[in-house]
């Protein structure tokens, strides 16, 4: 039998954790309880963070959106500030799991599981998210790229937990997109995904373009050198094709039960072309 602790505040949580330092943290439990049941993880003590209301806030301050680690995917979908400032994160949350999974699962759990197929990660990489990590005594803020170091591996140290996520608000008139391919529309593990952000001049010249790729490497990937190709070029089909093909060569996909590495590469080279279609459907204001 495992003990389950449910602290109501950060202070209470710290006290419990120092008394049972071997405890594993639980947010929504949608990854943790599945892996415990599969017997992959053995634990004696569980600390559930779900009642710490301080971790459930979404705030806006100093040009950043601050998202508590226990914010659920449903909260992301419901928050007007996310729809307005970070539509790409909202889009990603809308494609994650099923309604009940979105009611339970959290952004912090999605990050700390560190699966290359996790749906919120491409958006968070694209937006240059930073993570606030706390221990009883220390606080540090690290870019998400430094936090996730491999498939299901993070640089979380002993006694450290994810407090909240800081996401800089993109400048106005940036358009952002998230495309995911899975075996079906709901409850499907991502075979490959792309998040993209475009800032265009009125004549369709690209001022800035960012792309991040999910499930085609040990972590979510970004290729800054390839992104630069877009700069000051008119948005066009050949240009997007070039981005796709160059990125596909840089990805390191694996073949698994979901799909082959070749299929994943093919998805990567074609994803950017979808931006043109999305453009047609959404008109010129770019709102998704």
Partner 1 sequence: MKISFRLNEKMIEIETAPDRRVIDLLREDLGITGTKEGCGSGECGACTVLIDGVSKLSCLMLAAQLEGRSITTIEGLVQDGKLHPVQKAFVSHGAVQCGFCSPGMVMSAVDLLQRNPLPGRQEIRRAVSGNLCRCTGYQKIIDAIQSAAKELD
Ligand X SMILES: Cc1cc2nc3c(=O)[nH]c(=O)nc-3n(C[C@H](O)[C@H](O)[C@H](O)COP(=O)(O)OP(=O)(O)OC[C@H]3O[C@@H](n4cnc5c(N)ncnc54)[C@H](O)[C@@H]3O)c2cc1C
Residue ranges binding partner 1 (CB under 8 A):
1-4, 6, 29-30, 33-34, 37, 46, 48, 50, 97-101, 103-104, 185-187
User: Does residue 253 touch ligand X according to CB under 6 A?
Assistant: no
User: Does residue 247 touch ligand X according to CB under 6 A?
Assistant: no
Burial of residue 233 (CB within 10 Å: 0-12, 13-18, 19+) is: middle
For the CB of residue 97, give the shortest distance to partner 1 in the complex, in Å: 7
- CA–CA gap between residue 13 and residue 58 (Å, rounded): 20
Taking CB under 6 A as the binding criterion, the range among 8-16, 19-27, 74-82, 230-238 that sits at the site for ligand X is: 19-27
Taking CB under 6 A as the binding criterion, the range among 18-26, 75-83, 137-145, 279-287 that sits at the site for ligand X is: 18-26
Beta bridge partners of 178: 195
| Choice between 36 and 229, CB closer to partner 1 | 36
For the CB of residue 288, give the shortest distance to ligand X in the complex, in Å: 19
Which phi and psi (to 5°) does residue 130 adopt?
-120, 150
Decide which of ligand X, partner 1, none touches 25; Cβ closer than 5 to 8 Å per partner kind: ligand X
| Choice between 215 and 226, CB closer to ligand X | 215
Decide which of ligand X, partner 1, none touches 1; Cβ closer than 5 to 8 Å per partner kind: partner 1
Task: Tell which positions 155-194 bind ligand X, by CB under 6 A.
Answer: 161-162, 187
Task: Tell which positions 43-82 bind ligand X, by CB under 6 A.
Answer: 49, 69
Decide which of partner 1, ligand X, none touches 23; Cβ closer than 5 to 8 Å per partner kind: none
Determine the Cα angle at 34 with ends 31 and 35, to 5°. Answer: 85
Decide which of ligand X, partner 1, none touches 2; Cβ closer than 5 to 8 Å per partner kind: partner 1
For the CB of residue 280, give the shortest distance to ligand X in the complex, in Å: 27
User: Does residue 122 touch ligand X according to CB under 6 A?
Assistant: no
User: Does residue 275 touch ligand X according to CB under 6 A?
Assistant: no
Beta bridge partners of 3: 45
Query: Would you tell me which residues interact with ligand X (CB under 6 A)?
Result: 24-32, 34, 49, 69, 96-97, 101, 104-106, 108-110, 112-113, 118-119, 161-162, 187
């Amino acid at each position: 039998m495992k003990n389950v602790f449910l602290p109501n505040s950060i202070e209470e949580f710290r006290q419990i954790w120092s008394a049972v330092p071997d405890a594993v943290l639980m947010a929504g439990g949608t990854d943790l309880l599945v892996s415990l049941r599969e017997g992959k993880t053995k634990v004696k003590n569980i600390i559930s963070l779900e009642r710490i209301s301080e971790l459930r806030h979404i705030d806006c301050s100093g040009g950043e959106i601050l998202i508590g680690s226990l914010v659920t995917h449903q909260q992301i979908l419901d928050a007007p500030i996310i729809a307005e400032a970070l539509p790409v994160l909202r889009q990603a949350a809308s494609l994650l799991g099923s309604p009940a999974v979105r009611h339970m699962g959290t952004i912090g759990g999605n990050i700390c599981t560190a699966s290359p197929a996790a749906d919120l990660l491409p958006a968070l990489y694209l937006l240059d998210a930073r993570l606030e990590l706390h221990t009883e005594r220390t606080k540090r803020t690290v870019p998400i790229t430094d936090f996730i170091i491999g498939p299901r591996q993070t640089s979380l140290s002993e006694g450290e937990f994810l407090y909240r996520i800081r996401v800089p608000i993109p400048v106005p008139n940036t358009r952002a997109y998230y495309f995911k391919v899975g075996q079906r529309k709901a409850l499907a593990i991502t075979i490959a995904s792309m998040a993209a952000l475009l800032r265009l001049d009125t004549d369709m010249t690209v001022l800035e373009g960012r792309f991040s790729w999910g499930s085609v490497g040990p972590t979510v990937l970004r290729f800054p050198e390839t992104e630069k190709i877009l700069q000051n070029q008119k948005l066009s089909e050949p240009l997007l094709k070039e981005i796709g093909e160059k990125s596909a060569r840089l990805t390191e996909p694996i073949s698994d039960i979901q799909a082959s590495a070749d299929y994943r590469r093919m998805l990567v080279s074609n994803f950017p072309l979808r931006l043109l279609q999305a453009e047609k459907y959404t008109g010129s204001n770019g709102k998704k």
